Amino acid sequence: MNFEQEKTGPVTIITLPGETFEAAVVDDFKQDIAPVIEENTHVVFDLSNIRFLDSMACGALLTCHRKLKEKGGKMGLCCPQKQVSAIFDLMGFPQLFDVFKNREEALKAYG
């Protein structure tokens, strides 16, 4: 998965490509995100491109969250579209993750 990676201070922002984040690409995501999670402490996923995500994608995000938390890091999500926000609400993600409206909010919280 060719995601865009941007480092600002201690925060690494990953912009997920494509319009969907789902089962068909989750294996690629897991493989490519592993070194990023290994090398960084505070990671924010920019979801502005994503209009659909499924349970496999949610599981992959939960795994990233757990790994970062285990080493004292933080993980947040930013810029979710309306439907993605609704899916997060359905899954109870706002209780677990920091969900930011935009990058600035994320950088302010983690920077």
Partner 1 sequence: MSQSLHRMEILSQMALLPAARRFVRNFCENDTCRQLLWEDLWQLELAVHEAATNIIRHAYGNRTDQPILIEIEVLEERIVVNLNHWGKPFKEPKSTPPPVHDGKGGFGLYMIERCVDRVIYAVSPNGKNTISLFKGLGK
Residues forming contacts to partner 1 in the complex (CB under 8 A) are: 20, 22-24, 52, 54-56, 58-59, 62, 66, 83, 86-87, 90-93, 95-96
Judged by CB, which is closer to partner 1: 11, or 26? 26
Q: Minimum distance between the CB of residue 67 and partner 1, rounded to whole angstroms?
A: 11
Judged by CB, which is closer to partner 1: 96, or 109? 96
Q: Which residue has the tokens 């899954």?
A: 91
Judged by CB, which is closer to partner 1: 42, or 65? 65
Q: Minimum distance between the CB of residue 34 and partner 1, rounded to whole angstroms?
A: 17
Residues sharing a CB contact under 8 Å with residue 58, sequence separation 6 or more, in sequence order:
87, 91, 93
Judged by CB, which is closer to partner 1: 6, or 24? 24
DSSP string, the chain: ---EEEEETTEEEEEPPSSEE-HHHHHHHHHHHHHHHHH-SEEEEE-TT-SEE-HHHHHHHHHHHHHHHHTT-EEEEE---HHHHHHHHHHTGGGTSEEESSHHHHHHHH-
Q: Minimum distance between the CB of residue 20 and partner 1, rounded to whole angstroms?
A: 7
Q: Minimum distance between the CB of residue 87 and partner 1, rounded to whole angstroms?
A: 7
